Amino acid sequence: MPSPKDISGFLLVGLAGAFALLSRRTLAGEGPQSLGAVATLAQFTVDRHKFNVDPKMAIRIAYIESSFNPSAIRYEPHLGDASIGLMQTLLGTARWLEVDMGHNSHTASTTSLLDAQVSMYFGCAYLHWLRRWRGSTRSDEWVVRSYNGGPGHGKATDDYWRKYREAREKLG
C-alpha cells in the first residue's frame, strides 16, 4: 500500500500535468463556453445517458463552478483532491462514479475532465446519484447543496444555495 507521501506525490504529478494542459489550452485560445453551448451539452448528456437531472440545474452549476470554463482547475487542500473542468467534479468523485457506480461511458482522469463533454457527463452522473440518495427522491435544494458539500452537509452550503438561486434568476 502506498504511503501518504507517495499518494501526495502522485497527486502533485497529476496536477502538474493538468496545469500544463491548462496552459496549452489557455495559449490555444480555449476558454469559457457560451450559455448556448453549455445548454446543448447538458441536454444532450441528460438525454443520451437517461440521467434523472434537469439540464437547467447542470447549466446553473457549471456557471457557478467554472463560469462555463472547461479548463478550470481548483485544488481543494482540505480534501487533498482537485475540482476539474466545466462542472468542477472532484477527480476522486469521478473515479468513484466510473469504477464503483458503473458510470463508465467515459474514463475519469485529470486530463479527461478538462473535456467539457466528459466533465458534464460526470457532473450529471453525480447529480443523478444525489437525486436518489439512499433510495429517496431528493429536492432540488438538497441535490444542489449536496453537489457542493456532499450528502447531508445542509447549512454548510448556504452560500452555494444562494449562488444557485442567483444563477437561476440570471440564466432561467
Dihedral (C-alpha) 107, 109, 110, 111: value to the nearest 10 degrees? -50
* Domains assigned to the chain: 4-171 (1.10.530.10)
Helix/strand/coil for 24: helix
pLDDT digits (tens, 9 = 90+) for 128-172: 999 999 888 999 999 999 999 998 776 778 999 999 999 999 998
- Range in 15-19, 33-37, 93-97 the model is least confident about: 15-19
Summarize pLDDT for 23-76 with one digit per residue, the tens. Answer: 334 333 468 999 999 999 999 999 999 999 999 999 999 999 999 999 999 998
Q: How confident is the model at residue 99 (pLDDT cuts 50, 70, 90)?
A: very high
